[in-house]
């Protein structure tokens, strides 16, 4: 992807959202269910002193019909009361220009685009159009499907509409095979997003990745190690009775306990200690050696192609390939390397060898 320079003038996150703690946390219920639920949850969150903004869904996109679809505009009054009482900036999901209009009228501070909306460029274009000339921060969840370009496209559409207070929110991806998590984190996708848009703050929503509160800690910790700029975490004063996403919401006091256990890396320090410089130099040297050896290997592969051509051998020699896989994986395992990593690496080398030889022979 080469469009790195398109997004170059993003407003830094701390210009529009004051961090109350390290890491920055936006929290609140999945859905605003009643005035009492919203106010009680906000009161408990306020006691923790950890929360920089209060989130809540008031229009809920549900997979199947006839579930609780949110209270809609009435709930905006409850949120306004939260802001007046506890001073939290408010964040609400919007999916249509009508939602945008209602939120702006109610003084909602941050709008976010849900994963089911991010998949649809028509909806995104309409929302971006509705926000033209409006100075409101927009947070963009990744689309449901693992498509980095689609996520980047959503960000670009809002940016092109003049929204500079932008952040991305990584909430994991829908995959056919169900696994440990409700949504696969596929960590390389938010990492690639960061490298394509270096100015863009990337937050993590561990609640929708984990799907269960018992898994929140490990997801948050991993996101921190990957330099997440903050978190959006669902909370409820009594998650067991929540009308949506009951299994993944935490109580504010459990949120505090969880945050206490985190190992939080220092932000923004490129190279904080001297030993790191020495280790980085060693890695630089080793990488040079690796590349040199790979280039020598591909040179031999090239010579083999000429021999194969002369002897009329097929490029793919499956028995030989199996032996290579087994012996090399064996050496690697002895050296303490991970099996899956070895297999992926050898596969890549093999594919490249096949590409080189096929090109020479044909």
Residue closer to ligand PEP by CB (options 123, 329) is: 123
User: Count of residues binding Mn ion (CB under 5 A)?
Assistant: 2
Q: Measured from the CB atom, is 30 or 76 closer to ligand PEP?
A: 30
What token pair was written down for 175?
Answer: 């995959």
Q: Which residues pair with 173 in a beta bridge?
A: 184
Residue length of the chain: 362
Contact region with Mn ion (CB under 5 A), list: 146-154, 196-204, 238-246, 281-289: 238-246
Question: Does residue 205 bind Mn ion (CB under 5 A)?
Answer: no
Determine how β-strand 231-234 pairs with β-strand 138-141: unpaired
- For Mn ion, the closer CB: 57 or 190: 57
By Cβ distance, which residue is nearest to Mn ion?
Answer: 30
**Smallest distance from the beta carbon of 319 to ligand PEP, in angstroms?**
48
In this structure, the strands spanning 231-234 and 166-170 are: unpaired
Binding to Mn ion by residue 243, rule CB under 5 A?
no
Contact of residue 230 among ligand PEP, Mn ion, none (CB under 5-8 Å per partner type): none
Task: Choose the one of Mn ion, ligand PEP, none that binds residue 141, judging by a C-beta under 5 to 8 angstroms depending on kind.
Answer: ligand PEP
Minimum CB distance to ligand PEP, residue 115 (Å): 4
List phi, psi (to 5°) of 110.
Answer: -135, 135
Residue 255 contact partner, candidates Mn ion, ligand PEP, none, CB within 5 to 8 A by sort of partner: none
115 binds, among ligand PEP, Mn ion, none (CB under 5 to 8 A by kind): ligand PEP
**41 closest CA partner among 73, 220, 30:** 30
**Interface ranges with ligand PEP (CB under 6 A):** 30, 57, 114-116, 141, 171, 205, 208
d(CA 131, CA 222): 34
Cβ at position 192, least distance to ligand PEP in Å: 19
Classify 267 in phi/psi space as left (phi over 0), alpha (psi -120 to 50) or beta.
beta
> Which is closer to ligand PEP, CB of 57 or CB of 305?
57
Site for Mn ion in 20-79 (CB under 5 A): 30
Q: Which is nearer to Mn ion, 160 or 241 (CB)?
A: 241
With binding defined as CB under 5 A, does residue 245 bind Mn ion?
A: yes
What is the torsional sign of CA 131, 15, 50, 259?
positive
Residue 120 contacts by C-beta under 8 Å, 6 or more apart in sequence? none
Strand pairing partners for 31? 57
Residue position matching structure tokens 């609140």: 28
d(C-alpha 283, C-alpha 300), whole Å: 26
Q: Which residue is nearest to ligand PEP (CB)?
A: 114
- What angle, rounded to 10 degrees, do the helices at 216-225 and 252-261 form? 40
Candidates 322, 308, 324; CA nearest to 359 is: 308
Indicate the residue among 208 and 213 with the shorter CB distance to ligand PEP: 208
115 touches Mn ion by CB under 5 A: no
CB nearer ligand PEP, residue 102 or residue 140 = 140
**Footprint of Mn ion on this chain (CB under 5 A)?**
30, 245
């Amino acid at each position: 992807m080469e469009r790195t320079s398109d997004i170059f003038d993003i407003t830094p996150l701390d210009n529009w959202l004051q961090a109350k703690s390290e890491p920055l946390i936006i929290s609140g219920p999945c859905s605003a269910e009643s005035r009492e639920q919203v106010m009680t949850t906000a009161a408990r969150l306020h006691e923790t002193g950890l929360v920089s903004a209060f989130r809540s869904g008031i229009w809920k996109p549900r997979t199947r019909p006839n579930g609780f679809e949110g209270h809609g505009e009435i709930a905006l009054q409850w949120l306004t009361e939260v802001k007046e009482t506890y001073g939290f900036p408010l964040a609400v999901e919007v999916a249509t220009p009508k939602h945008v209009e209602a939120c702006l009228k109610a003084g909602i501070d941050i709008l976010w685009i849900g994963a089911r909306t991010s998949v649809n460029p028509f909806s995104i274009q309409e929302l971006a159009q509705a926000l033209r000339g409006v100075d409101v921060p927009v947070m963009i969840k990744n689309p449901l499907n693992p498509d980095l370009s689609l996520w980047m496209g959503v960000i670009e559409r809002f940016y092109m509409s003049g929204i500079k207070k932008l952040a991305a929110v990584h909430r994991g991806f829908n995959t056919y095979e169900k696994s440990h998590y409700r949504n696969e984190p596929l960590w390389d996708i938010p990492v690639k997003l960061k490298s394509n848009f270096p100015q863009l703050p990337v937050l993590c929503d561990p609640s929708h990745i984990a799907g269960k509160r018992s898994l929140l800690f490990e997801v948050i910790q991993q996101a921190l190690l990957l330099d997440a700029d903050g978190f959006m975490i669902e909370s409820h004063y009594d998650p067991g009775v929540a009308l949506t996403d009951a299994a993944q919401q935490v109580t504010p006091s459990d949120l505090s306990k969880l945050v206490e256990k985190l190992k939080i890396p220092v932000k923004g320090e490129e190279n904080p200690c001297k030993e790191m410089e020495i280790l980085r130099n060693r890695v630089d040297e080793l990488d040079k050696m690796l590349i040199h050896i790979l280039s020598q290997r591909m040179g031999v592969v090239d010579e083999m192609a000429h021999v194969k051509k002369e002897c009329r051998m097929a490029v793919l020699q499956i028995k030989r390939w199996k032996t290579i896989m087994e012996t090399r994986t064996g050496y690697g395992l002895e050296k303490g390397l991970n099996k899956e990593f070895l297999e992926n690496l050898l596969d890549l080398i093999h594919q490249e060898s096949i590409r080189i030889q096929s090109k020479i022979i044909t």
